Structure 1
Amino acid sequence: MPKEYRATGINLKGMPLGENDRLLTILTKEHGLIRAIAAGARKHRSSMAGRSGLFVVNDLQISVGRSMERIKNAEVLQSFVGLGKTLAKLTAAQYLSELALMQALSAQPQEELFLLLVEHLDRIQTAEDRHVLACLNHGIYHLLAIAGFAPQVHNCCITQVPVIAKRGVQKWKAGFSMVGGGVVDLDYLDSDNSSDLGSGIGISDIGSGGNPHQGDRLDNNQERGEGLMLESIYNRISHYLTASELMAIQELAQTDLADNILEIPPKDWLAVERLLRAYAQYHFDRPIQSSALIDNCFFNI
């Protein structure tokens, strides 16, 4: 890498360094994740103070030092001042930045991740307060998708049968399996069709050997095998979704959320967030620190 280079990046983390400087963690389009010193950023009236703020997008000129890179110049391209207007918006933004940091790579282009994060931060910034939670879930799903972990939400992850939310059926629910990677059609598993799941066990291929009672024993063994298979499937279900929650999570793959989806009650979006949070932590194998404030921020919306 040359002694100096240019990059477009968004500040995702910052910490004090010495008396006057800040050490920034920046997601850049061209070079991925970098850590650079913003010299003098903590000085009163420093021109770098605003440019080193959280969620500020800069056109950067970076100087490569022996042990640490330094920001030689920074010009603000975009700032998300609206994110600081409410704790809910700030928490949602920090949540998405954590997910971006979990998957961002260094020393290689990360343009798709950069653009996706900036897009969803802007949506959160401009969203009405009652829609912030829906926008957060939208961003979580898309960041999981770009990491290759998008959950399967339209077809059952076990049977591949389409799962349709039945809003008119009281107490209707669908399952969700972390291990399976998606929704589980409980209606199908509880129906007579569930016997099809045991067709691959292979018990029926065993010959009776001329014993007149052997066939009965094989039938009993097959039924027992199918029962154990269903029990194993049910044991893998980690969450249950109501019809409204399933509708919400199925719409998250869309580029934009329709108005009727945005108006799904906050309690349903909270349930979806908890599911996606657990799913993200399962795949990234680390906790999402910002999620600790979610319940407090959105409980009374």
Structure 2
Amino acid sequence: MGDRRIEGLALKVGPLGEHDRLLTLLSETEGVTRLAVPGARRPRSSLAAAAPLTLLELQVGGRRGLARVRQLKVHRSFAALGRHLETLAAAQSLTDLCLQLSADEDPIQGLLPMLILHLERLEALSGHRDAVLASAVQGSIHLLTLGGYSLPLQSCCRTGEPLNPPIGQWHWRCSLLPEDGFAIGSLPEARLKLNPSELALLQRLSRSDLPRRQDGTLMGPVRVWLRLLTVVEIWVRTHLPRRCRALAMLHETLTMPGLSDHDRDATGS
């Protein structure tokens, strides 16, 4: 088989044998592909730049078995996301979700550019813990929608009635039933119950931008965004092949006791 060129984002890089690396790449043309990068662990290797969160252009040889990278060119690196614990955890949660969505290796159109868009947003939000959390939740919802696992946020899964949260009626509740969706009312079998403001905020995340007030500040306190992250975790755990451990790590990072915002940033610097 002749060589071919692939452009994609390195989702994972691990050891392979004594001197090689195993590269897991997400591309628009091939979905998730696993490639051998020969000699990448040797000092001064020309292929050593195959690192996680790096946008690469590759020349790959062979289509049978584990194809091998012949040449690579780095178009962009998102390594700066590793400077802060929360941005690294958020990026890993999004890449891990893409791995699960592409488990059958069939390309999902738009998945790669959507992932890159949200990684760019995380870069811009670095150091702003609340916005990083909100961006991770929204990015997860966008990726789930592209992958065919969107949260059914428009109608009650029990009655079919529209899910129109009555803002200001604080007794009203919406119940998350992981297998089915969201039901109006406070049901005993619910995994989580949302009030009108929480549901309205969740529904707004299908839009392209984060929900902000007129003065530019982010809507919703951290505790609400953590609840919405829990909604995503439950949905992924129920409908995808395996639990997204990176989402759990993000949750743990953002609720770490005794760690101030300044300390969180300094730990990742």
Q: TM-score, normalised by structure 1?
A: 0.77
Structure index of larger Rg: 1
Shift of residue 11, structure 1, vs aligned partner: 0.7
Q: Is the 8 A contact 1:24 1:36 kept in 2?
A: yes
Whether the 8 Å CA contact 2:7–2:58 is kept in 1: the answer is yes
Unaligned runs of 5+ in 1: 188-233
User: 2:168 corresponds to which letter in structure 1?
Assistant: G
The answer to whether the Cα contact below 8 Å between 1:28 and 1:110 also exists between their aligned partners in 2 is no
Q: Which residue of 1 aligns with 2:80?
A: 82
- 1:281–1:288 Cα contact (<8 Å) kept: yes
Alignment partner, residue 243 of structure 1: 196
Which amino acid is 1:132 matched to?
V
Distance 1:154 1:11 in 2: 35
Distance (whole Å) between structure 1 residues aligned to residue 64 and residue 149 of structure 2: 37
What RMSD in Å do the two structures reach over aligned CA positions?
Answer: 2.2
Q: Give distance in 1, aligned partners of 2:156 and 2:104.
A: 36
Q: Is the 8 A contact 1:82 1:126 kept in 2?
A: no
| SS of equivalent residue, structure 2 residue 110 | helix
Alignment: residue pair count: 252
Q: 1:180 to 1:103 in 2, by over 3 A?
A: same
Q: In the alignment, is the contact (CA less than 8 A) between 2:93 and 2:250 conserved in 1? A: no
Q: Structure 2 regions of 5+ residues with no counterpart?
A: 262-269
1:97 matched to 2:99? The reply is no
The 8 Å contact of residues 13 and 24 in structure 2, kept in 1 or not, is answered as yes
Find the aligned partners of 2:119 and 2:18 in 1 and give their Cα distance: 31
- Once the two structures are TM-superposed, the CA of residue 171 in structure 1 deviates from its matched residue by 4.7
Shift of 1:90: 0.8
Q: TM-score, normalised by structure 2?
A: 0.85
Partner of 2:37: 38
In the alignment, what sits opposite 1:25? 24
Distance 1:167 1:271, change over 3 A: same
Question: Offset of 1:123 from its aligned partner?
Answer: 1.4
Larger deviation: 55-64 or 286-295? 286-295
Aligned to 1:130: 130
The 1-side partners of 2:64 and 2:130 are apart by 48
State whether residues 11 and 53 of structure 1, in contact with CA within 8 Å, keep that contact through their aligned partners in structure 2: yes
Aligned-partner Cα distance in 1 for 2:104–2:40: 24
Give per-residue Cα distances to partners, 1:102-129, cap 9 Å, x unaligned: 1215665444211111111211221233
**Match for 2:111 among 99, 110, 113?**
113
Q: CA deviation at 1:100?
A: 0.7
User: SS at the partner of 2:193?
Assistant: strand
Distance (Å, rounded) in 2 between the aligned partners of 1:178 and 1:58? 37
Asked if the contact 2:10/2:52 (under 8 Å) is kept, the reply is yes
- Give, in whole Å, the separation in 2 of the partners of 1:130 and 1:238: 24
Deviation at 1:140, TM superposition (A): 0.9
Which secondary structure state, in structure 1, belongs to the residue aligned with residue 151 of structure 2? coil
Pair 1:140 & 2:140 matched: yes
2:230 corresponds to: 274
CA contact 2:108–2:147 (8 Å) conserved in 1: no
After TM superposition, give the deviation of residue 167 of structure 1 in Å.
4.1
**How far apart in 2 are the matches of 1:285 and 1:68?**
24
Q: How does 1:134-283 map onto structure 2 within 5 Å?
A: 134-181=134-181, 183-186=182-185, 234-260=187-213, 262-283=218-239
Match of 1:290 in 2: 246
Distance 1:88 1:170 in 2: 32
| % identity of equivalent residues | 30
Q: Could you tell me which residue of structure 2 aligns to residue 13 of structure 1?
A: 12
Q: Distance in 2 between matches of 1:174 and 1:288?
A: 24
Of Structure 1 and Structure 2, the greater helix share is in 1
